[in-house]
Amino acid sequence: MRLLADECCDARLVSQLRSEGHDAIYMKEFRPGASDKVVLEKAYSEERILITEDKDFGELVCRLEKPAHGIVLLRFDAHERDLKWPRLKQLIDRHGSGLHGLFVVVDAEKSRSRPLGRQARR
């Protein structure tokens, strides 16, 4: 799966994605300090699902209808950080390419999704 991990994501998470065979770009390695707009545009132009912990992407794609192929928002408290990888892996294993066109929020107990607006999927 083609993924783009936002700079706010843990480097261990990116390593685990890569070790599972995913084509994962890490913004911290590619272009640290890039704006959310640049991150979203890169993910969209390369047809990648964006993985982030930044809630601002929800506003960009849901309210402002910026184009995106899919977004996974990780919402974990500091004491739950060890759950990020198992929960993300479970989501990817279960839904794979079905994540395209969705905004998914994943936390320690559940995940919920909503379709991106028609304009966002372009």
Give the pLDDT of residue 24: 97
**Consecutive 10-residue averages of pLDDT for the chain (122 residues):** 96 96 96 95 96 92 89 95 95 93 95 78 44
Calculated CA dihedral for residues 61, 51, 99, 115, nearest 10 degrees: -20
Query: Domains plus CATH for the chain?
Result: 2-121 (3.40.50)
Residue 22 neighbours by CB under 8 Å, 6+ apart: 1, 2, 3, 92
Give the pLDDT of residue 114: 92
Give the pLDDT of residue 21: 97
* Predicted TM-score of the model (pTM): 0.92
Residue 22 sits at the vertex; the CA angle it makes with 69 and 103, to the nearest 5 degrees, is 30
Report the alpha-carbon distance of residue 19 to residue 64 in Å, rounded.
35
Give the pLDDT of residue 4: 98
